[in-house]
Amino acid sequence: MIFVWAEDQQHGIGYQGTLPWHLPADLAFFKKTTTGHTLVSGSRTFASYKKPLPNRKHVVLTNDCETPYPDGVVVLHHVDEVLAYEREHPDETLMISGGAQVFASLLPYVKTLIRTRVAHTFKVDTVMPTIDYTQFELVDSQVRAADDRNPYELTFERWERK
């Protein structure tokens, strides 16, 4: 499974149920990276999408057995169910899209990290769990300069578990 997220210079990822920033270049990167794959998200992150994102299968992790989800959304209630889903769907690439609680739950199992670093520090209430990067190798890193619509430099990184 793959983690995909964007973080600021202090590992901040969220504020008041949404992203702390508006960066169309990172949204485009997220769309390109995740299209055609299976997105696994916590109920809070899924709610932040407002509706299922097109051309992606959605798996939502929640303890709640009552709240209905849109047709086609797979609702799971435990990390073990995510691991079973991965085993039973070897043709699907699981892209874990957060948030912090879900990243923390699945950190022992992740093979690939796709991280966007945003060169700024924002007001946040949600931070990425601590990742031991010595267990991973940086295999790709692309810097994108700031521009009018994306006022901070972005670095798109890919790490593979050693």
Q: CB of 157: closest distance to ligand NAP in angstroms? A: 13
Q: Which of residues 103-122 bind ligand NAP (CB under 6 A)?
A: 105
Please tell me the distance from the alpha carbon of residue 80 to that of residue 11, in angstroms, as a whole number.
27
Q: Which is nearer to ligand NAP, 94 or 100 (CB)?
A: 100
Q: Which of 23, 38, 98, 154 binds ligand NAP (CB under 6 A)?
A: 98
Of the pair 76, 162, the CB lying nearest ligand NAP is at 76
Stretch that binds ligand NAP, among 57-65, 83-91, 132-140, 149-157 (CB under 6 A): 57-65
User: Closest CB to ligand NAP among 22 and 77?
Assistant: 77
Instruction: Tell me if 6 contacts ligand NAP by CB under 6 A.
Output: yes
Please give the Cα distance from 125 to 63 (Å, whole number).
Answer: 22
- Please choose, out of 17-25, 88-96, 130-138, 145-153, the segment that lies near ligand NAP by the rule CB under 6 A: 17-25
Q: Which residues of 16-43 are buried (b: 16+ CB within 10 A; e: fewer)?
A: eeebbbebebbeebbeebbeebbbbbbb
Q: Which is nearer to ligand NAP, 15 or 162 (CB)?
A: 15
Listed ranges 13-21, 49-57, 131-139, 151-159: which one lies at the site for ligand NAP (CB under 6 A): 13-21
Q: How far from each other are the two terminal CA atoms of the chain, in whole angstroms?
A: 14
Strands of the chain, DSSP E: 2-7, 12-14, 38-42, 57-61, 74-76, 94-96, 112-118, 126-127, 136-144, 154-161
Secondary structure letter of residue 15 according to DSSP: B
Strand 112-118 and strand 126-127: the pairing is unpaired
Which residues in this chain contact ligand NAP in the complex, by CB under 6 A?
5-6, 13-15, 17-19, 41-45, 48, 61-64, 77-79, 97-102, 105, 126
